[in-house]
């Protein structure tokens, strides 16, 4: 912290007292300092003399804020903090409060801590509704997504959304916006790219890690299964993973959201057709049981539009 004395001594030449008086006059002419002093008419000349260094710091720090170079390059004594004057025990006192940039950065970090993702591009998890391009083909999906964020109540209601449509229309981006909006409400969300997640669980069978990984996902207050239907289906994925996952979440009333290139009938057919080849009656029944849960607990929304990735 640079005091007036240190500042003067760092200046070339002598005449300490003269320079001190010049800086004092400059400080007292500062509009912010004048505004504070006018609000405290009880301040005496003696208090003012004792507190001139606090007034100098107040001016200096606010000059930095007026020319703000950004949070990372903040030159203030306490990075990201702005000074405020008060009268404490008959003396001028400086306090520091977070600046808007630091508050925004802290909010962003807090939100990021509430959004977990597996195999999802970072730009998708940082999306907001302001970033989602709304047109006639997406209006309903956006409206329903925003409505969901208002009414969601994990543990009390397991109602979710099933958003389907062609590749590249913004389904995953919309889910990222939902996750960030929920983070504003301190609701934790996990976004999982389903094909890679199922593949990871399969690889975890050998080292016994798959159960632990599955537990983390299935207990998330809000779960988003992105691109379900794009995985290679097997009895194990359908029955032991997806079936068990959805059963638990249904019983605990934890909302699950889905994106898919398939509509519900197409997804049911996909779940029926395993690597064994063909579609057997038992596979159809198991697929139907899973789809009944999805149909019962999720509002189905078709999302159309131009492929944004083309």
Q: Compute mean pLDDT per 10 residues along the chain, 310 residues long, and list them.
A: 55 67 88 92 88 91 94 93 90 92 80 74 83 78 94 95 92 93 90 92 82 89 95 89 94 97 95 70 90 94 76
Which residue reads 């005091």 in tokens? 3
Angle of helix 264-272 relative to helix 281-297, nearest 10 degrees, comes to 150
DSSP string, 152-200: --TTT---EEEEE-STTSSHHHHHHHHHHHHHHTT--EEEEEHHHHHHH
* Dist CA 116 CA 185 (whole Å): 15
- pLDDT tens-digit map of 230-286: 998 888 899 999 999 999 999 999 999 999 999 999 999 999 976 565 567 888 899
Do the beta carbons of residue 239 and residue 198 sit within 8 Å? no
* Dist CA 7 CA 20 (whole Å): 9
Outline which parts of the chain fall under CATH 3.40.50.300: 105-302
CATH 3.40.50.300 assigned to domain 105-302? The reply is: yes
Which residue reads 């057919």 in tokens? 269
Burial string for 66-78 (b: 16+ CB within 10 Å, else e) reads eeeeeeeebebee
What pLDDT was estimated at residue 175? 94
What pLDDT was estimated at residue 119? 80
DSSP conformation class of 228: T
What pLDDT was estimated at residue 257? 97
- pLDDT tens-digit map of 69-91: 999 999 998 999 999 999 888 89
The pTM for the full model equals 0.68
Local structure of 128: helix, strand or coil: coil
* Dist CA 310 CA 308 (whole Å): 6
What pLDDT was estimated at residue 275? 59
Burial string for 245-274 (b: 16+ CB within 10 Å, else e) reads bbeebeeeebbbbbbbbbebeebbebbbbb
Give the CA count within 13 Å in the CB-facing half-sphere of 176.
20
């Amino acid at each position: 912290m640079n005091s007036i004395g240190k500042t003067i001594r760092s200046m070339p030449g002598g005449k300490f007292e003269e320079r001190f008086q010049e800086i004092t006059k400059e400080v007292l002419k500062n509009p912010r300092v004048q505004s504070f002093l006018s609000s405290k008419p009880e301040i005496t000349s003696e208090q003012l003399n004792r507190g001139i260094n606090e007034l100098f710091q107040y001016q200096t720090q606010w000059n930095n804020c007026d020319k703000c170079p950004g949070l990372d390059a903040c030159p203030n004594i306490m990075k990201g903090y702005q000074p405020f004057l008060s009268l404490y025990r008959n003396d001028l006192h400086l306090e520091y409060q977070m600046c808007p940039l630091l508050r925004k950065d802290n909010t962003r970090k807090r939100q990021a801590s509430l959004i977990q993702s597996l195999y999802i591009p970072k730009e998708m998890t940082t999306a907001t509704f302001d970033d989602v391009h709304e047109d006639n083909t997406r209006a309903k999906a956006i409206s329903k997504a925003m409505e969901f964020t208002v009414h969601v109540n994990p543990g009390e209601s397991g109602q979710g959304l099933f958003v389907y449509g062609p590749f590249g229309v913004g389904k995953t981006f919309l889910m990222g916006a939902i996750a960030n909006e929920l983070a504003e409400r301190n609701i934790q969300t996990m976004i999982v790219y389903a094909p890679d997640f199922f593949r990871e669980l399969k690889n975890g069978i050998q080292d016994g890690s798959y159960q632990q990984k599955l537990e983390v996902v299935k207990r998330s207050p809000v779960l988003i299964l992105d691109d379900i239907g794009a995985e290679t289906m097997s009895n194990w994925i359908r029955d032991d993973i997806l079936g068990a996952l959805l059963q638990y979440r249904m019983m605990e009333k934890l909302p699950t959201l889905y994106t898919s290139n398939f509509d519900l009938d197409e997804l049911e057919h996909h779940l029926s057709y395993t690597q064994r080849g063909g579609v057997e009656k038992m596979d159809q029944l198991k697929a139907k049981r899973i789809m009944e849960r999805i149909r019962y607990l999720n509002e189905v929304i078709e999302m159309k539009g131009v492929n944004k990735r083309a």
